[in-house]
Structure 1
Amino acid sequence: MPENPAAFSGPDQKERLLKPARDIRSILRWGYPKFATIRFVAEHFRLSVEERHILTRVIMPPEKVAARIRKKVSCDSVSNRDLLLDGYNVLLSVDSLLRKEPMWFCDDGYIRDTRYYFSKTSHAEDIEGALDLILEFLSEKNPGSVTFLLDSQISRSGELAGFIRHKLEKHGIQGQAYTSKTADFDLKKEGGNPEKNAITATSDGIIIDSVLHVIDIPACLMEKMGIEPLRLY
């Protein structure tokens, strides 16, 4: 049986956000802008900064939902395919999962966390467990190649890229890890190239909107582990 979502967050917070979430979705159906709508409803309900950010992460305008869902591929679709990973996005999300932090099922069908948006310290150096879990999953799915792309502006990204290359070799996975000053641009360019037809692993909505195929690795791991995400409906 799946674990109780309340294990990842106090049920009081979810209950407090259900009514605002319903109101926001109702207003968005009339075509009003997302951020102004969330701000208006959040002020009415006197929500905290964190609660407002959760709503921003979870709720999507209707026009975004269908397009993003169509791009999502199943957890078994990566066999013999080239896979691009939005490095920090995926690693930190899986790290949050391992730490039993809140994992939210969002309107566009992807899993997102909010933990790192409220931390004043970087946890990027302490993600070996997350990396191992991701690589174990990928080794079972037999991708053609795996490329991790890391934002070079984050401290010690070069060291992490080297560590990922070592781990890829240890797990017997054909792949590479790079740093880039324009990581998001590179992911959108490579993932949106129809000739390469690669699958991109990310939950970043801006990247999802620009690529062809997307896999939600945290969602795949949660399904395998029998963990249900939190849902605002």
Structure 2
Amino acid sequence: MRDMHESSADFSDSCIKEEVLKEKLLRPARDIRSILRWGYPKFSTIRFVADHFQLSLEERHILARVIMPPDRIISRINKKIDCSEIKDRKILIDGYNVLLTVDSLLKKELMWFCDDGYIRDTRYYFSKAKQAEDIEEALDAVLGFLSEASPKSVFFLFDAQISRSGELAGFTRRKLKEYKISGEAKTSKIADFELKTEGGNPESNVIVATSDGIIIDSVKEVLDIPACLMEKMGIEPIRLY
């Protein structure tokens, strides 16, 4: 459910904005999907259709996040692990990807159900250079879910090239202990490569938590933590169908 402290007027305005935006993008989304079935490139197709409908930069960004080429959809959906099926499993978390998406969810930003079955936000003006305390609520939400799901271990991986990642990793280690979750957090200069390598190794038997399409394409199993939290909170994403 939405935050009970949110005023009814704010809630109403938010719902109206969502409905107006959804209605505006439904037809362009259908047209783009129809063209993509013929094998045309995704981004040039979106640009062509968006120009025709005179869409804004934000609206184009939403379509680029939500719509996927047909050859990606089935493969990605088949890799998705149910939220209730991670007990005694090793979880490798794409730190910034997951925490910033959950941060958007908690800040009541628009959350979209994408063609490949994953939840993504479209708050594209954010900076990843956040202090640990800025996303403490998001980290608490993620760890609260994981503590109930009882995985074998949880490993957070943060991009070292983003400012203050070391502090965030240290803060996350302390929070893991606080929640009595077995795990670790570290930074890496090649975070995406490590996620793809470890997640793509069948012998590691690890589930990767991310919504990054490039990483999803390279790993065996994927957990969509924002989707798990939305299900628990009773929040429905926006669907362009």
* Short-chain TM bin: over 0.9
Percentage identity across paired residues of the two chains: 68
Is 1:55 the counterpart of 2:59? The answer is no
Length-normalised TM-score, structure 1: 0.95
1:206-230 CA deviation, whole Å, 9 max, x = no partner? 0000000001000000000000000
1:156-210 CA deviation, whole Å, 9 max, x = no partner? 0000000000000000000000100110000000011100110000000000000
2:212 aligned residue (188, 204, 207): 204
Q: For structure 2, which runs of at least 5 residues remain unmatched after alignment?
A: 4-10
1:169 aligned residue (174, 177, 197): 177
Contact 1:27 1:37 in 2 (8 A): yes
1:37-96 CA deviation, whole Å, 9 max, x = no partner? 001001111111111111000000111000000000100111111100000000000000
1:96 aligned residue (67, 92, 104): 104
1:118 aligned residue (115, 125, 130): 125
Length-normalised TM-score, structure 2: 0.92
Aligned equivalent of 2:6: none
Contact 2:130 2:164 in 1 (8 A): no
Classify 1:167/1:195 alpha carbon distance in 2 versus 1 (closer, same or farther; 3 Å): same
CA separation in 2, counterparts of 1:2 and 1:93? 17
Q: Which has the higher contact order (CA 8 A, sep 6+)?
A: 1
Counting matched residue pairs gives: 232
CA separation in 1, counterparts of 2:49 and 2:166? 42
CA separation in 1, counterparts of 2:207 and 2:40? 32
Task: Quote the RMSD (CA, aligned, Å).
Answer: 1.9
Classify 1:196/1:120 alpha carbon distance in 2 versus 1 (closer, same or farther; 3 Å): closer
Aligned equivalent of 1:13: 21
CA separation in 2, counterparts of 1:2 and 1:95? 14
Is 1:76 the counterpart of 2:84? The answer is yes
Q: Helix, strand or coil for the counterpart of 1:10?
A: helix
Aligned equivalent of 1:67: 75
Return the offset for 1:15.
1.2
